[in-house]
Amino acid sequence: MSILVVGSVAYDTVETPSGRAERVLGGSASFFAVAASYFAPVNLVGVVGDDFGEKQLEAFRGRPIDLAGLERAAGKTFHWQGRYSQDLNSRDTIRTDLNVFEFFQPKIPAAYRHSELVFLGNIDPLLQREVLAQVEKPRVVACDTMNYWITGKPAELRETLAKVDVLLINDQEARELSGEWNLVKAARAIRRMGPETLVVKKGEHGVLLFGHESCFAAPALPLETVIDPTGAGDTFAGGFLGYLASRQDINDREMRRAIVFGSVLASFTVEKFSLDRLREITLREVQERYQDFRALTHFDDHEA
């Protein structure tokens, strides 16, 4: 099954305790697409400016990522600059230059309209709905959002959420969206808004999956080297949906495995700046880390 992703393709300037990366490849759609491409073909819709060169496109080449939907507009590419705290658990946005992204109107090429899975990256909820209006009944619609839209366009966001199957947000966003501090109550309230499945990302504390049948928790792999957490959430989403796209059935068991594959890919992204680590991994390394996860969470061979 193929996946359609709509989101940002960016230049990022990032400062972490390990150093600084200047105008490197970033953006939600970039991390998502490369992560998902380890499992399934990806159709990418986004916009870049005329300062976006061949060198940046190299990250997508040689992978099953279709770039017919990557529009090139006159002007500069979206640029985001962020600085992380010493413990890497929080970050400040220093500047956001929307540039060509400000006038982004997603146009879905005809060849993408039958994509079975759709990932609506973190953009205006109105634009997310316009994407859905251009595609034929996907099997799964997944969506990301952020505080900016939760507080800035709550009614638009609600309308979009009514059409979404899987929502992926962080714990703080889940609390803000639902008005509930307790995450179990927050999940119940959010699932009533539309998404049957809610994935709550908790950074270095892992992920919670709230579904129709059950709740599932996965830790983040304890890592010795964490250089730059940028894109971990989008990488997680790419691994999660990419794995689901590679399966015949999408059920509770596959959802749990998808959560672990998402976590595995995110664990690579944070080991270097930009997409540098994500781009170089092999399927064998992915499988090995999947086994590390099994070992990490295994605690009992016997029924109590």
Q: Point out which residues bind ligand AMP (CB under 6 A).
A: 8, 10, 12, 26-28, 80, 96, 122, 230-234
- What does the alpha-carbon distance between residue 245 and residue 212 come to, in Å, rounded to a whole number? 19
Q: Where are the alpha helices (DSSP H) in 5-92?
A: 28-36, 54-57
Burial 10-44 (b: 16+ CB within 10 A, else e): bbbbbbbeeeebebbbbbbbbbbbbbbbbbbbbbb
Position closest to ligand AMP via CB: 26
- What does the alpha-carbon distance between residue 171 and residue 214 come to, in Å, rounded to a whole number? 18
Query: Nearest distance from residue 10's CB to ligand AMP, in Å?
Result: 3
Query: Nearest distance from residue 299's CB to ligand AMP, in Å?
Result: 30
Nearer Cβ to ligand AMP, position 232 or 264?
232
Nearer Cβ to ligand AMP, position 28 or 56?
28
Helix (H) or strand (E) holding 96: strand 91-97
Nearer Cβ to ligand AMP, position 99 or 115?
99
Query: Nearest distance from residue 232's CB to ligand AMP, in Å?
Result: 6
Query: Nearest distance from residue 227's CB to ligand AMP, in Å?
Result: 13
- Is residue 144 within 8 Å of residue 237, measured between CB atoms? yes
Nearest one of 54, 58, 30 to 42, comparing CA atoms: 30
Query: Nearest distance from residue 303's CB to ligand AMP, in Å?
Result: 39
Nearer Cβ to ligand AMP, position 28 or 178?
28
Nearer Cβ to ligand AMP, position 81 or 134?
81
- What does the alpha-carbon distance between residue 159 and residue 149 come to, in Å, rounded to a whole number? 12
